């Protein structure tokens, strides 16, 4: 395991259709500002254009606004759907954000997960992975070098393309590619020597593929002469934490049914196969399938331990999926409890204070006796001094 596990949020975001979208987006930004104050390391914003639930159309715009409301947290595109965009403009926008955030930006890429997005611009799911591969190759060449790039396919025609700004970050900001169950993302991450965003890490297929993904990434990196590091591997999964399991279950009555119905009946995204007809069945599915946790800090910590073991060597960051199962106040409390009670165990901060308390506990009987004797001796000295003055 890497020495300090980072924590963050992967914010699609999910919101129930029909609610005030302006307020919903402001709540997302307020949450990221709260995470910044709590000491979270990263926040990733999604890109979606249809289906009524994942309502952020531009991760870059969300980052630009969030950057002005935060001080420390790094902000990433989680992800830019590369099949939808000219790769030159994607590279230009991420470099601009790198300057505007003074190096706090991260670049995450993916193919585009909602078929209802791509169909509006004539991109089918049969094309998106090939377009991702071609676009990412162009973008990484633009970001890492000064040589002009010429490339043409059925969607893009680049002619001696080059950036007119070099990145602020030296040598480059964090970059990562998304993966769910197939080896495509891991293969591209290894080929380019960049990070991996395991978006489906806790799904049945994604969990089973964790160790395989790292093997694919490592092998592809070796073939292409790249160096990869587990600290750049990020796993995504849902949790809702409360002080008691009963409270956590009560909290998620607010929005878990909508989240399930979205994946069961609206989003054509079969990798997120979630089962349950009633809220009780949905909660049981989350906890019993291993997809996530609805429970206490100890149960959240156990889930991360489980992922560490399955990854067969560890990873660098755990990203909590932003799901809006609970209302705004309970959601903020969940992130606070994880920061307060879970993060220290994976960042090297819990053990020193626990050890110090144990040492003090073991030494207390002897030291308390010495302290009592010192107090008694001080009283005797004072009595002698007072007696000498009265004489």
Give residues with Cβ within 8 angstroms of 249, minimum separation 6: 283, 294
pLDDT of residue 131: 97
Count of residues in the chain: 391
Instruction: Output the CA torsion sign for 35, 26, 61, 255.
Output: positive
pLDDT of residue 72: 98
Query: Quick check: helix, strand or coil at residue 150?
Result: strand
Which portions of the chain are predicted below pLDDT 70?
A: 1-2, 391
pLDDT of residue 210: 85
pLDDT in tens, 250-268: 999 999 999 999 999 998 7
pLDDT of residue 25: 98
pLDDT of residue 80: 98
Unique residue bearing structure tokens 């349950």: 276
pLDDT of residue 390: 78
Instruction: Report d(CA 27, CA 339) in Å as an integer.
Output: 19
Residue 84 tokens read as 């939808």
- Comparing C-alpha atoms, which of 315, 335, 317 is closest to residue 325? 335
pLDDT of residue 163: 97
pLDDT of residue 183: 85
């Amino acid at each position: 395991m890497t020495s300090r596990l980072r924590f963050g949020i992967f914010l699609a975001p999910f919101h129930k259709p029909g609610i005030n979208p302006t307020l919903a987006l402001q709540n997302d930004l307020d949450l990221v500002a709260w995470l910044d104050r709590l000491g979270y390391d990263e926040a990733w914003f999604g890109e979606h254009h249809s289906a009524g639930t994942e309502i952020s159309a531009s991760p870059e715009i969300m980052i630009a606004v969030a950057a002005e409301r935060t001080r420390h947290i790094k902000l990433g595109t989680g992800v830019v759907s590369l099949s939808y965009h000219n790769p030159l403009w994607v590279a230009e926008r991420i470099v601009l954000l790198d300057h505007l955030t003074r190096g706090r930006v991260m670049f995450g890429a993916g193919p585009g997960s909602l078929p209802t997005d791509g169909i509006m611009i004539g991109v089918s799911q049969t094309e998106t992975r090939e377009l991702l591969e071609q676009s990412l190759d162009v973008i990484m060449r633009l970001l890492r070098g000064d040589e002009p790039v010429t490339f043409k396919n059925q969607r893009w025609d680049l002619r001696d393309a080059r950036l007119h700004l070099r990145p602020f970050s030296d040598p480059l900001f964090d970059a990562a590619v998304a993966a769910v169950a197939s080896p495509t993302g891991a293969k591209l991450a290894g080929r380019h020597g960049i990070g991996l965003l395991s978006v489906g890490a806790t799904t049945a297929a994604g969990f089973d593929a964790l160790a395989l993904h790292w093997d694919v990434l490592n092998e592809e990196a070796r073939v292409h002469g790249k160096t990869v590091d587990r600290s750049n591997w990020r796993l995504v999964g849902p949790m809702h934490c409360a002080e008691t399991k009963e409270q956590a279950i009560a909290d998620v009555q607010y929005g878990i049914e909508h989240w399930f119905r979205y994946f069961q009946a609206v989003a054509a995204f079969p990798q997120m196969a979630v089962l349950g007809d009633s809220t009780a069945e949905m909660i049981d599915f989350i906890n019993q399938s291993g997809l996530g946790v609805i429970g206490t800090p100890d149960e959240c910590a156990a889930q991360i331990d489980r992922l560490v073991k399955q990854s067969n060597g560890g990873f660098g960051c755990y990203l909590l999926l932003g799901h809006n199962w609970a209302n705004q106040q309970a959601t903020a409390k969940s992130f606070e409890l994880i920061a307060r009670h879970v993060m220290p165990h994976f960042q090297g901060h819990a053990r020193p204070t626990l050890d110090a308390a144990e040492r003090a506990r073991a030494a207390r009987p002897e030291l308390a006796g010495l302290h009592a004797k010192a107090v008694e001796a001080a009283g005797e000295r004072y009595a002698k001094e007072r007696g000498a003055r009265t004489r």
